[in-house]
A and B are shown apart, each in its own frame.
Chain A
Amino acid sequence: MTGPSRTSEVLEITTTAGVVQARQQVRVLAQQCRLSLVDQTKLITAASELARNTLVHGGGGTMTALLVEERARRGVRLSFADHGPGIADVDLALTDGWTSGTGMGLGLSGSKRLVDDFVLDTTPGEGTTVTITKWGR
């Protein structure tokens, strides 16, 4: 089980400024967690993708960020939640290059590859929550 969280912050993502703020918050946490430069960059990029999905596809929502500790390792956990339309076909949405809009269709599948843990929880008509974790070495 995950130990007690050190920090927990909730950020509203309702405009593109929220996406910028998400990146900045995650950068600070990633540095606090002493992630390597490559891992920091990967986590920030994944956060940027998921924050934008929350805004664009989910119609706005929140990012909850916290430092987690388990079995002597530390990590950053981010949870992106919205009450948007949800995703009807998860496999399709996670297919590289598939987009319902005009994007590249790489945000969701790509961010899964950028992190260590990726949990997608979605219900059509109710919303979507994506939780990701990046562990320090």
Chain B
Amino acid sequence: MADKHVSERLIALLSGRGEDLGAEWAEKVTGSLGGRVARAEVERELREIYAALVAALSDGSVDGYDEAFGEVRALLTELSRNRALQGFTPTETAVSVFALKQVLEPSLVGEDSDADAYLRFAALLDTLGLFTIEVYSRTREELIAAQAEQLLELSTPVVKLWEGVIGVPLVGTLDSARTMVVMEKMLQALIDTGSEQAIIDITGVPTVDTEVAQHLLKTVVAARLMGAECTISGIRPQIAQTIVALGIDFGDIVTKSTLADALRHALRRSGTTVSRTAPQAGAR
């Protein structure tokens, strides 16, 4: 079998040059990482990958996605994840695999060259190299998603505006994940402050479409279930015109153009009156 022959040849080569091959490999990888990973650490990683690679080849396979390469892929996954989390580039990550190709190249294209073995081995390392890049980008995506979630928490402050009145300033868009956070925080703040009035200010929401409107309505209903009343403020003229053209009906929910108007309304509803008095002498 061709695969068998190729893998036998590769094992002979890999184990024949064992020590110095490993050293050369570690040298290349450490160099490309600019000393940001200790040589000993690189050597440990590569020794494990090397052993797993030889073991997989002993199973007679040269296909990187084969079951035999499960251990190799697990080790590469770990390496890739670490590099991604430490802020290395995809190139600096994949070099761990591709450097082995460079190191082995001279022996494979030498005097008793074996084109078939070389091509198969090159293809195997390409597969494994691409695999590390795939894991790398998946890890980065997870990182970005986690950061987005943190941002979600950060960008949703709930503030006490007055005795019995809380304010929920929204900035950005209101998708379902965001709505969950907003709703939870608002309901908790209503309880914590003993408030019965909430003002949701959407001055910082650039687009109010049916999704945002639906989520706003849900939030208001949740507050009502707790015996609290919501006012929506910060509806700019262009948003008002768009809402009307879309056909969205906010029903009996009170909407105000400014936060000040909404606060006045909420205070009146909670039985507090604010009145202007003549400025006191000396209060300037």
Bound form: Cα–Cα A41–B247 in Å: 15
User: Which chain A residues (97-137) contact chain B, with CB distance < 8 Å?
Assistant: 103-104, 106-107, 109-111, 113-114
Given A44-B207, A45-B209, A49-B209: A113 and B245 interface contact (C-beta under 8 Å): yes
**Which of A16, A20, A23, A109 lies in contact with B247, CB distance below 8 A?**
A109
The answer, yes or no, to whether A52 is at the interface (CB within 8 Å) is yes
The answer to whether the Cβ of B91 comes within 8 Å of any Cβ in the partner chain is no
Q: Compute the total of residue contacts between A and B using a CB distance below 8 Å.
A: 62
Q: How many chain B residues touch A (Cβ–Cβ < 8 Å)?
A: 19
A111 to chain B, nearest CB (A): 8
Most A CB within 10 A of own CB, among B210, B211, B214: B210
- Using an 8 Å CB-CB cutoff, how does the interface string of A80-108 with B read, 1 for contact, 0 for none? 00000000000000001000000110110
A42 within 8 A of B: yes
Residue B137 interfacial (CB < 8 Å): no
> Given the complex, which residues of B lie within 8 Å of A111, measured CB to CB?
246
B238 on the interface (CB 8 Å rule)? yes
**Least distance between B198 CB and chain A CB atoms (Å):** 22
Which residues from B are CB-within-8-Å of A62?
A: none
Q: Which residues of A contact B242 (CB under 8 A)?
A: 38, 41-42, 45, 114
User: How near does chain B come to A96, taking the closest CB pair, in angstroms?
Assistant: 5
Residues of B within 8 A of A103 (CB): 210-211, 214
Taken together as a complex, chains A and B put the C-alpha atoms of A23 and B172 apart, in Å, by 12
Which of A16, A40, A45, A110 has the most chain B CB atoms closer than 10 A to its own CB?
A45
Q: How far is the CB of B77 from chain A (nearest CB, A)?
A: 24
In angstroms, Cα B245 to Cα A38, docked, is: 11
Q: Are B207 and A104 in contact (CB under 8 A)?
A: no
Q: Does chain B have a CB within 8 A of A1?
A: no
A72 at the interface (CB under 8 A from B): no
Interface status of B32 (Cβ within 8 A of chain A):
no
Q: Bound state CA distance, A122 and B206, in angstroms?
A: 31
What sequence of 0s and 1s flags, for each residue 156-185 of chain B, a beta carbon within 8 Å of any chain A beta carbon?
000000000000000001010000000000
Contacts known (A103-B214, A104-B213, A106-B210); A96 close to B245, Cβ less than 8 A: no
Q: Is A54 an interface residue (CB 8 A)?
A: no
* Interface membership of B248, Cβ < 8 A: yes
Contact B237 A107 (CB under 8 A): no
Please tell me which one of the listed residues A20, A38, A44, A114 contacts residue B246 in the complex, with CB atoms under 8 A apart.
A114
Docked pose: A40 CA to B255 CA in angstroms: 23
Residues of B within 8 A of A113 (CB): 245-247
Contact yes or no, B214 A45, CB < 8 A? no
Q: In the complex, which of the residues A48, A107, A109 contacts B207, with contact meaning CB atoms closer than 8 Å?
A: A48
CB of B11 within 8 Å of the partner chain: no
Report how far A40 CA is from B236 CA in the complex, Å. 13
Nearest opposing residue in chain A for B212, CB measure? A48
Q: Is B108 an interface residue (CB 8 A)?
A: no
**Cross-chain contact of A114 among B175, B213, B239, B245 (Cβ < 8 A):** B245
Contacts known (A16-B175, A45-B207, A104-B213); A38 close to B241, Cβ less than 8 A: yes
- Complex alpha-carbon distance, A113 and B248, angstroms: 12
How distant is A78 from chain B, measured CB to nearest CB, in Å? 15
Residue among B206, B213, B246, B248 with most chain A CB within 10 A: B246
Picked from B206, B211, B214, B241, the residue with its CB within 8 Å of the CB of A42 is B241
Chain B residue numbers with a CB within 8 Å of A110 are 210, 245-248
- Other contacts beyond A45-B207, A45-B242, A114-B242: 9, CB < 8 A: A27-B206, A41-B242, A42-B242, A104-B248, A107-B210, A110-B245, A110-B247, A114-B245, A114-B246
Selected A-B contacts with CB under 8 Å, 29 pairs: A20-B173, A27-B206, A38-B238, A40-B238, A41-B207, A41-B242, A45-B208, A45-B209, A45-B242, A48-B207, A48-B211, A49-B210, A49-B246, A52-B211, A103-B210, A103-B214, A104-B210, A104-B214, A104-B248, A106-B247, A107-B209, A109-B247, A110-B246, A110-B247, A111-B246, A113-B246, A113-B247, A114-B242, A114-B246
